[in-house]
Amino acid sequence: MSTLPAWLSDERLSADIAPMLSESSGASLERLATEAQALTLRRFGRIVSLYAPLYLSNFCSSGCAYCGFASDRKTPRRRLETGEIEKELVAMKSLGIGDVLLLTGERTSSAGYDYLRRAVETAARHMPRVAVEAFPMTVSEYRGLAESGCTAVTIYQETYDPENYRKLHRWGPKRDFLERLETPERALLGGIRSVGVGALLGLSEPVGEALAMARHVRHLCKTYWKAGIAVSFPRIRPQEGGYQPAYTVDDRFLARMIFAFRIGMPDVELVLSTRETPRFRDGMAGIGITRMSIASRTTVGGYHDPDSAGSSQFEVSDDRSAEAFCQALRSKHLEPVFKNWDTAYNGPVNSEEPACS
Amino acid sequence: MDSLQLGSYEFSSRLILGTGKFSSTRVMLDAVRASGTQLVTVALRRFNREQAEDDLFGPLSEIGGITIMPNTSGAATAREAVRAAHISRELSGSPFVKVEIHPNPHHLMPDPIETYEACRILAGEGFLVMPYIPADPVLSKRLEEVGCTSVMPLGSAIGSGQGLSTAEMVRIIIRESNIPVIVDAGLRSPSEACAAMEMGCDAVLVNSAVAVSSDPVAMASAFAEAVQAGRRAKLAGIMPRSGSAVATSPLTSFLGTAS
């Protein structure tokens, strides 16, 4: 294996987060929650930014043991064509959504870069903010996505434990730990404004994962000063393939982890998806979490025609409608915000072009 | 009448309100009314023509007596801010633009270089340009030279509630400036707004301190009163602070008395 970057084991980058992750540290969960809420309120106010995922394709070339779309699953494969993507976007817009996350599997000939770039162009005609969660790309490919209207790229490392990573990623391009680890940096070098990082919680020992994530965020912030960073906290959900997580990450630990990140990183976006239950999502909104997915369909084609959309990547836990979820936020005196971006700010961020011609 | 003059516009209120971060549009509108403000700023990001419930501009434009100043929050470069200003003017019809350029989306500190460039272009195009800037007296004069309508130095980081931590720099900016100086960002309490006005600021802009209060409407009204009190005190003439007591044996007795 290639040499791992120094930041991955640099304990100074996670020294403030580490004590907060331990229950025996004396930092009670309630005290952490109080501090996290105050920081969230001060920096982000009483709003929660909303987005929704759009699954473009479930073709995949990798063999991730924990994923319902891995290439050995029997699930029927499908990709949305431009007209279908338009229909999905229109259906999403009717729910109010103005911020979309486009997803694919690992790169295949059926759903590769050109396909993805066309999908970004289509989405950017409908949505003020377009993000992508797909396969690792080159710097110039990311620049192409940014030029097409992609604002953000999410790329989870899944696990920061290299040994475990190798066992879980049984075949395919995703086997290369280091290549994936450096993907957010290539996205930023390509002019993508914001990158989302995270570990799929349950794959490896959770405290170690949290510390590695914290180091990753700090490394990115120090190296790329214009970068927006978002941190997600996905826990493994039941999926086709039936992978059983090796580690349990209970609600209390996940909450502790989110509070620790908020306290250590007061101005970074912290994201929670519909993988989590309504009870947990409602509880965490505004006390650390600032960005949430809504009315999610994790099937290909799930918004326009949910009945024929096929199988999902994973089961969602919060299947409330957009309206029901917004109502829950409002009852907590939080404002759900569907549009918190504008196309005026799309395009590669580190472009050196003159301000005006 | 004592009024705040911005371009050809006159405002009797010297409190400018930001409209983000509130728990609901209804609460925000109530706070705007309670503040007596006549000038509010709205991020282009929060204009939403496609979904009325998510839109901040529409409801604000229906309140009488309010001028809307779109802002470019989200822009990382001069180019993006200029583009945002053009779109904002198209959508709102307002001649004002609050130029906010923060390339780092975490601490949101304004970029002086990109801000200068955007202001130069937009002032040349006839906008009433109100830049959010670091509290830098040199940059302030440079922006005055390119035709900005006001300068808006930060009191402290956006949303930090650290108050007027830049007071000494703001004092120099006020002393030197020929255009209105408006403290923007960081104010936590009405007393801090009052102090900024007593110092000689022409107005203050507040958002988080009102939006995240438990009672934003009451807080908006408290800020309004504090800004008025500070302005009246400034106009009335504040007693100078004496640096030391007067010595019983004057240092200049050896000079004798004037003949």
- Rg of chain B over Cα atoms, rounded to whole angstroms, equals 20
Tokens linked to A114: 């050109």
Give the C-alpha separation, A158 to B113, whole Å. Answer: 39
- A268 and chain B in contact, CB less than 8 A: yes
Picking from B212, B214, B217, B219 by the largest number of A CB atoms within 10 A of its own CB, the best residue to mutate is B212
Picking from A46, A223, A327 by the largest number of B CB atoms within 10 A of its own CB, the best residue to mutate is A46
Residue with tokens 């199988």: A311
> What is the model's pLDDT at position A354?
47
Predicted structure pTM score: 0.88
> What is the model's pLDDT at position A72?
83
> What is the model's pLDDT at position A310?
67
- B107 and chain A in contact, CB less than 8 A: yes
Greater pLDDT, A148 or B50: A148
B172-206 residue pLDDT tens: 999 999 999 999 988 999 999 999 999 999 999 99
User: Which residues of chain B lie closer than 8 angstroms to A97, CB-CB?
Assistant: none
Give the C-alpha separation, B148 to B130, whole Å. Answer: 6
Smallest CA–CA distance, residue A1 to chain B, in Å, is 34
- Least CA distance to B84: which residue of chain A? A344
Give the C-alpha separation, A43 to A49, whole Å. Answer: 13
Smallest CA–CA distance, residue B36 to chain A, in Å, is 22
Determine whether A159 is exposed, middle or buried from the number of CB atoms within 10 Å of its CB (0-12, 13-18, 19+): buried
Q: B160 and A44 in contact by Cβ < 8 A?
A: no
- B46 and chain A in contact, CB less than 8 A: yes
Q: A98 and B80 in contact by Cβ < 8 A?
A: no
Give the C-alpha separation, A217 to A14, whole Å. Answer: 10
Distance of CA B214 to the CA centre of its chain: 23
What does the longest C-alpha to C-alpha distance in chain B come to?
A: 82
Picking from A37, A40, A42, A48 by the largest number of B CB atoms within 10 A of its own CB, the best residue to mutate is A42
Q: Write the residue in B20, B87, B114 that is nearest to A45 by C-beta.
A: B20
User: Which residues of chain A lie closer than 8 angstroms to B22, CB-CB?
Assistant: 45-47, 335
pLDDT averaged over every residue in chain B:
93
User: Which residues of chain B lie closer than 8 angstroms to A268, CB-CB?
Assistant: 106
- B161 and chain A in contact, CB less than 8 A: yes
Residues of chain A falling short of pLDDT 70: 1-2, 25-27, 240, 308-311, 313, 351-357
| CATH number reported for the structural domain that contains residue B54 in this entry | 3.20.20.70
Would you say domain A22-342 falls under CATH 2.60.120.10? no
Q: A42 and B212 in contact by Cβ < 8 A?
A: yes
Backbone φ and ψ of B254, nearest 5° = -65, -15
Q: Residue B52 pLDDT > 70, yes or no? A: yes
How many domains are contained in chain B?
A: 1
Catalytic site positions of B: 98
> What is the model's pLDDT at position A46?
95
B136-176 residue pLDDT tens: 999 999 999 999 999 999 998 877 778 899 999 999 999 99
- A259 and chain B in contact, CB less than 8 A: no
Q: B76 and A193 in contact by Cβ < 8 A?
A: yes
Half-sphere exposure at residue A340, Cβ-oriented, CA atoms within 13 angstroms: 17
> What is the model's pLDDT at position A357?
42
Least confidently predicted of A238-247, B94-103, B208-217: A238-247
Least confidently predicted of A178-192, B109-123, B233-247: B233-247
Give the C-alpha separation, A156 to A273, whole Å. Answer: 14
Q: Write the residue in A46, A267, A342 that is nearest to B45 by C-beta.
A: A342
- Residue B43 in any domain: the answer is yes
Domain that holds residue B29: 4-238
| Interface ipTM above 0.85 | no
Do B18 and B12 touch, CB atoms closer than 8 A? no
Picking from A217, A220, A356 by the largest number of B CB atoms within 10 A of its own CB, the best residue to mutate is A356
Q: What is the DSSP string of A249-261?
A: --HHHHHHHHHHH
Distance of CA B12 to the CA centre of its chain: 15
Distance of CA A120 to the CA centre of its chain: 17
Give the C-alpha separation, A100 to A303, whole Å. Answer: 12
- Residue B247 in any domain: the answer is no
Angle subtended by helix axes A113-126 and A139-147, to nearest 10: 30
- Residue B72 in any domain: the answer is yes
Smallest CA–CA distance, residue B116 to chain A, in Å, is 11
- Least CA distance to A335: which residue of chain B? B23
Pairing state of beta strands B4-6 and B9-11? Answer: antiparallel
Smallest CA–CA distance, residue B95 to chain A, in Å, is 18
Smallest CA–CA distance, residue A351 to chain B, in Å, is 9
Do B235 and B60 touch, CB atoms closer than 8 A? no
User: Which residues of chain B lie closer than 8 angstroms to A345, CB-CB?
Assistant: 74-76, 80, 84
- Residue B181 in any domain: the answer is yes
> What is the model's pLDDT at position A7?
97
Q: A345 and B47 in contact by Cβ < 8 A?
A: no
Q: B54 and A98 in contact by Cβ < 8 A?
A: yes
| Chain A stretch 32-71, residues whose beta carbon is closer than 8 A to a beta carbon of chain B | 41-47
Give the C-alpha separation, A156 to A233, whole Å. Answer: 10
Backbone φ and ψ of B89, nearest 5° = -65, -40
